[in-house]
Chains A and B, each alone.
Chain A
Amino acid sequence: MTDLTELGVAAIRDGVAAGSFTAVEVATAFNANVAAAQAALNAFIVATPDKALDAAAKTDKARAANKPLGKLGGVPIGMKDLFATAGTQTTAASHILEGFIPPYESTVSQKLWDAGAGMLGKLNLDQFAMGSSNETSYFGNVVSPWRRNDGGNASLAPGGSSGGSSSAVSARLCPAATGTDTGGSIRQPAAFTGISGIKPTYGRCSRWGIVAFASSLDQAGPMARDVRDCAIMLEAMAGFDAKDSTSLDMAVPAWEAGLSPDMRGKKVGIPREYRMDGMDADVAKSWDDGIAWLKDAGAEVVDINLPHTRYALPAYYIIAPAEASSNLARYDGVRYGLRDLPEGAGLQDMYAATRAAGFGAEVKRRILIGTYVLSAGFYDAYYTQAQKVRALIARDFEQAFQQCDVILAPTAPSAAFALGDKTADPLSMYLNDVFAVPASLAGLPAMSVPAGLNREGLPLGLQIIGRPFDEQGVLNAGLAIESRAGFTAKPERWW
């Protein structure tokens, strides 16, 4: 019998529907993988095998009764622990929310359960989604299943903030997972682990019930092994939600049915500004490969300019912390989560003690940055200026999309780095998102697909950025690359 955990979303869905195997068999197989990998990879904060089995049993029962199965009937998935799940601890990987069990279900997770998916567990992440290596989690870092081909066994970063998601999907602990992307948190970890991930247009997926990091940037999206699986997942996750004022009131297209790797008549823009001095040679080469593949798929390739690119990262590191400093004010020890009430303490003391004990160093750093840039006398110099830059970056893209349909660029400036490599230098960590952040600031759909391995045997990702609402164009370009890259590498099981 085939190893069911080698199957992706579409294959599981179709196999269950066809009766080739049962949903419970699938859930059981993934549950076993989750349990077996936990000690080594630490991808999950909480495993919920019973939830996966319950959902699977429901699907099997529906099938036995000849009832229609959901779009994700029989597919067990991992849920990033930033999504509130009713009755299951939701922590954002922070001590301050340890033990918090929400009485409500996020819109996106509810949609997935409604589509027939089951939950394997809550996936680890960078604390409050702040980080690019999953090293800021209170519940310990996640380890990538990938290793360099140098014979050493250095533990590598799975990327972040959706590092539990990327590690779990690439290690076959789940066929797909949810991620969230504020400044690259779906795309960069997908690139680091040789999987696909898409951040849709801002507003496609409801933010209701997702622990907020930076509201104007946060977007949920799927991470899976291939483009089709991403399309299936995204169809289930997206949709207008009246409970989120920034939600897009638009119909969800049939992305899976619309998939086509044919790029004839399409123009692909190559942004000059992304080709930076001292660029990693393997990354540069994979980019060139991508260009060749898309040409082969029939696309015309054009050079474009995104002149304000170099201001994107600084603007992002003003706007995101500013919003975070305010969004995280609610964690005060009064109503839920951690409360540290020293003997004889007053309200202010309780706030200070609770937040000092509850937040990790990176979260504190960003709260401090955010508080600073919003404070009287600095607001215009930082926040207002950053918003202007943001508008200019959006305009850059708008103008570029008059010349092309999608943009191709590397996802990250390098392959996965070793755990601990960048923790001492926040700036070098932040620089890892340099290619991802501009699309976030502009609210554009963007995805990462595997392009190949570098000379160390580690995956590299290519990023496709599309026009607002054109997830289909992004997915199709991704599919064109996927079908030519022939990426079949997977981490060797060492855990």
Chain B
Amino acid sequence: MTTETAYRIHGATGEWEVVIGLEVHAQVTSASKLFSGASTKFGAEPNAQVSLIDAAMPGMLPVPNRECIRQAVRTGMAIDAQINAWSRFDRKNYFYADLPQGYQISQLYHPLVGEGAIDIVLDEKDPEGSTKRIGVERIHVEQDAGKLMHDQHPTMSYVDLNRCGVALMEIVSRPDMRSPAEAGAYVRKLRTILRYVGSCDGNMEEGSMRADVNVSVRKPGGELGTRTETKNVNSVRFVMATIEHEANRQVDVIEGGGRIVQETRLFDPDTGTTRSMRSKEDAHDYRYFPDPDLLPLVLDDAFLAECRASLPELPDAKLRRYETELGLSPYNAAVLTAEAETARWFEVLLAETAKRTGKPEADVAKQAGNWLMSELFGALNRLGKTLETSPVSPVQAAELLGLVGDGTISGSIAKQVFEKMLETGDAAGVIVEREGLKQTSDTGAIETAVDAVLAANADKVEQYRGGKEALFGFFVGQTMKAMQGKGNPQLVNQVVKAKLG
């Protein structure tokens, strides 16, 4: 820990430390809901994805969806957590119109996943800088609720039950974070892991991931203060804003002689502030008890082994491998592993390029990585696209890098070819053929071109020979220009040198 850069609120009475814990609700990627066969697809017509179970019709019973359990177990394994082979579902009872059963099936007493941890990098710009381990207390699975719609009718509220019963993982951190930046890094890292594992798409805009933010303040190293919980914050930026606002508000209250009350708050994205939703005195008594419709969830060794075997290489391991085996810089390795999709794209590109050039992956990794990070990301940015919607596939890109690697085209021609690929969707080889962009290594043609350049610039040749050696580049450039960039740069250099000799 770097105490000199510790985040502090500067109050009238001195410095304050912020203590943060996050409860992240992540929607489990699964075709159907946690206890019913209804679809979980986003964006359907209201109430188009509601089974009799989700609507809590009389006599309907929940049946656990093994896929949701599997995804939660894999997530737990990805953060090195204890997996509880025996867990149980509990009912959390309360009345609300978005909750047809009158209770949410959750896990209070015996969660599926126990203690684990996530390592975060404190400064993303400096992946070699210090890291911090954030404890994860537990992960349990539970049902999501439906959605009330208050804008459909002048006097009535409508309810959409499509989300009702969708599986969520509640990932509960330890109160180990001490700044908005740490909380932001934690959420980003968690999202990366979830996407790698494939257990949650991490899409915060669609509500696939949201956080309850627990914040308290104390004098540095002092006793823990009373915390508030701000519910359903749905972006990294808002999580950080919530903490920033809430910490300052708490300091103001305490320094103004007030007392922090344990309460639930809401974040208002328009003002960047939080406001009270309900205090502890008004808190529900959820009357948790084991759901008698469900047997305890018992996972056998074969199931656990399958879960473990199905885990992909995780971001931290991948980053280390990129550095040590592929020889990438820490920064490049960090960028290429930050998103599962980037790493996937990169690895296809790498494998295909190695195949085409007949070189080991380690020999082409730098070239492929640089190209992806500068050329591809640049182009996608310009076009407003992502890797998922990229007009060029990694296999197509590998063909382009292969053409550079085997000397068919030069690096500068490659940029032109790539532009054409983006425009037309054609393969690199096809474009090179069609446009006649093949690099020429024909010494005769090069000599002819050099001769013409030297003849046309007799004065400069004179100056060069008089000692102005900087002009060498000029002759090379002119030759390349005359050859429309197709001259093999190495050969052009050699010929120019020889002719001027």
Chain A residues with a Cβ under 8 A of chain B = 83-84, 90, 92, 97, 100, 102-104, 106, 207-212, 214-216, 242-246, 322-323, 325-326, 328-330, 332, 334-336, 347-348, 351, 371, 374-376, 379, 383
Contacts and interface: CB of A to CB of B under 8 A. Distances in A.
The SS class assigned to the A binding surface is loop
B100 A334 contact: yes
Interface string B255-290: 000000000000000000000000000000101110
A326 B102 contact: yes
B452 interface: no
Contact-residue bracket for chain B: 20 to 34
Contact of A211 (B52, B59, B63): B59
A102 B289 contact: no
Interface string B83-107: 0000000010101110011110000
Which of A106, A245, A351, A374 is packed against the most chain B CB atoms within 10 Å? A245
Contacts of A215: 292-293
Given A106-B59, A371-B287, 13 more contacts: A97-B58, A102-B57, A104-B52, A216-B292, A243-B61, A245-B295, A325-B93, A330-B102, A334-B97, A334-B100, A335-B55, A336-B58, A383-B289
Given A245-B295, A326-B287, A102 B93 contact: no
A103 B59 CA distance: 12
A208 B93 contact: no
B64 interface: yes
B63 A374 contact: no
Nearest to B35: A245
Contacts of B59: 83-84, 102, 106, 207-212
B91 A326 contact: yes
Which of B60, B61, B100 is packed against the most chain A CB atoms within 10 Å? B61
Nearest to A106: B59
Contact of A374 (B60, B61, B64, B287): B287
14 contacts: A90-B58, A100-B58, A102-B59, A104-B57, A244-B61, A245-B293, A245-B295, A246-B294, A328-B102, A332-B97, A347-B97, A374-B288, A375-B287, A376-B285
A211 B93 CA distance: 19
A452 to B, nearest CB: 37
B327 interface: no
A453 to B, nearest CB: 37
Contacts of A328: 102
B127 interface: no
Interface in B9-67: 52, 55-64
Given A335-B55, A374-B287, A207 B61 contact: yes
Given A100-B58, A104-B57, A326-B91, A374 B293 contact: no
Contacts of B57: 84, 102, 104, 335-336
Contacts of B102: 326, 328-330, 332
A84 B294 contact: no
B63 A243 contact: yes
A242 B58 contact: no
A92 B293 contact: no
Interface of B: 52, 55-64, 91, 93, 95-97, 100-103, 157, 159, 285, 287-289, 292-295
A374 B288 CA distance: 7
A144 to B, nearest CB: 28
A101 to B, nearest CB: 11
B293 A375 contact: no
Contacts of B55: 335
Nearest to A323: B292
A374 B157 CA distance: 31
Contact of B62 (A245, A336, A348): A245
State the 4 A-B residue pairs at the shortest beta-carbon distance, nearest first: A329-B102, A215-B292, A216-B292, A374-B287
Contacts of A90: 58
B58 A211 contact: yes
A92 B97 CA distance: 23
A345 B478 CA distance: 85
Contacts of A325: 93, 287
Nearest to B93: A326
Contacts of B56: 330, 335
B58 A84 contact: yes
A348 B56 CA distance: 19
Which of A104, A211, A322, A334 is packed against the most chain B CB atoms within 10 Å? A334
Contacts of B287: 325-326, 371, 374-376, 379
A325 B285 CA distance: 14
B64 A245 contact: yes
A371 B58 CA distance: 20
Contact of B58 (A92, A243, A323, A334): A92
A330 B58 contact: yes
B293 A246 contact: yes
Contacts of A210: 59
Contacts of B294: 245-246
Contacts of A104: 52, 57
Contacts of B64: 245
A485 B293 CA distance: 40
Contacts of B63: 242-245
A322 B295 CA distance: 17
Given A326-B91, A329-B93, A351-B95, A334 B159 contact: yes
Given A323-B292, A329-B102, A330-B56, A375 B285 contact: yes
A1 B335 CA distance: 91
B58 A326 contact: no
Contacts of B289: 322, 326, 374, 379, 383
Given A104-B52, A245-B63, A330-B102, A374 B295 contact: no
Which of B58, B63, B287, B294 is packed against the most chain A CB atoms within 10 Å? B58
Contacts of A335: 55-57, 100
Contacts of B159: 334
A33 B100 CA distance: 41
B61 A208 contact: yes
Nearest to B294: A245
Contacts of A209: 59-60
A335 B285 CA distance: 24
Contacts of A246: 293-295
B95 to A, nearest CB: 6
A330 B96 CA distance: 10
B87 to A, nearest CB: 14
B141 to A, nearest CB: 15
A209 B58 CA distance: 7
A322 B291 CA distance: 11
Nearest to A82: B59
Contacts of B52: 103-104
A329 B61 contact: no
A46 to B, nearest CB: 16
A356 to B, nearest CB: 14
B33 to A, nearest CB: 14
Contacts of A336: 57-58
A334 B156 CA distance: 12
B61 A245 contact: yes
Contacts of A92: 58
B60 A208 contact: yes
A134 to B, nearest CB: 20
B275 to A, nearest CB: 21
Nearest to B55: A335
A92 B57 CA distance: 13
A374 B58 contact: no
A323 to B, nearest CB: 5
A106 to B, nearest CB: 6
A335 B95 CA distance: 14
Contacts of A347: 96-97, 157
B93 to A, nearest CB: 5
A258 to B, nearest CB: 28
A100 B91 CA distance: 26
A348 B93 CA distance: 15
A147 B146 CA distance: 54
Nearest to A355: B95
A214 B292 contact: yes
